[in-house]
C-alpha cells in the first residue's frame, strides 16, 4: 500500500528545522480560524483590562504598557507555539528559527 503524504493533503503544513545545538525537523501546522480568534480575544480582553485599570494614564506611562504587552506575549508564547506544533519547542527555537 502506498504511503500517504500529509503535506499533500494539507499543503499549509511546513517542515522546519529547529535546534540550538542539534538540528531536527518538526512540522508546523496552520492555525485554525478558531485558534486565531481565541488569540485575538485573549489579547483584546487583556489590553482592555489594562486600560480600564489605568483610566488616568499619563503619556509617561507608555513604557508601562510596553512592559505589560511584552509580558502578555511571554506568558502566552508556549500556548501560541503549542497551537502550531505538536510538541514543546520554545527551549529549542532560536530567534532566527522563530522568524522563519
Query: How does pLDDT run along the chain (100 residues), one tens digit per residue?
Result: 566 565 566 778 889 999 999 999 999 888 899 988 988 888 898 888 888 877 766 655 678 888 888 888 888 888 888 888 888 888 898 999 888 7
pTM here is 0.61
pLDDT value of residue 59: 57
Sorted by where each begins, the domain ranges of the chain are 1-29+85-100, 31-84
pLDDT value of residue 22: 93
**Alpha carbon distance 91, 18 (integer Å):** 10
Q: Are 86 and 18 in contact (CB under 8 A)?
A: no
Pairing label, strands 24-28, 14-18: antiparallel
**Alpha carbon distance 84, 35 (integer Å):** 10
E strand spans, 1-100: 14-18, 24-28
Amino acid at each position: 500500500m502506498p504511503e500517504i503524504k500529509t503535506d499533500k493533503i494539507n499543503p499549509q503544513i511546513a517542515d522546519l528545522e529547529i535546534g540550538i545545538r542539534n538540528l531536527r525537523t518538526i512540522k508546523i501546522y496552520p492555525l485554525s480560524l478558531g485558534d486565531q480568534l481565541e488569540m485575538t480575544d485573549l489579547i483584546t480582553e487583556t489590553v482592555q483590562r489594562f486600560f480600564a485599570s489605568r483610566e488616568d494614564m499619563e503619556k509617561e506611562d507608555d513604557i508601562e504598557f510596553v512592559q505589560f504587552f511584552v509580558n502578555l506575549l511571554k506568558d502566552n508564547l508556549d500556548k501560541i507555539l503549542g497551537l502550531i506544533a505538536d510538541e514543546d519547542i520554545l527551549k529549542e527555537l532560536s530567534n532566527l528559527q522563530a522568524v522563519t
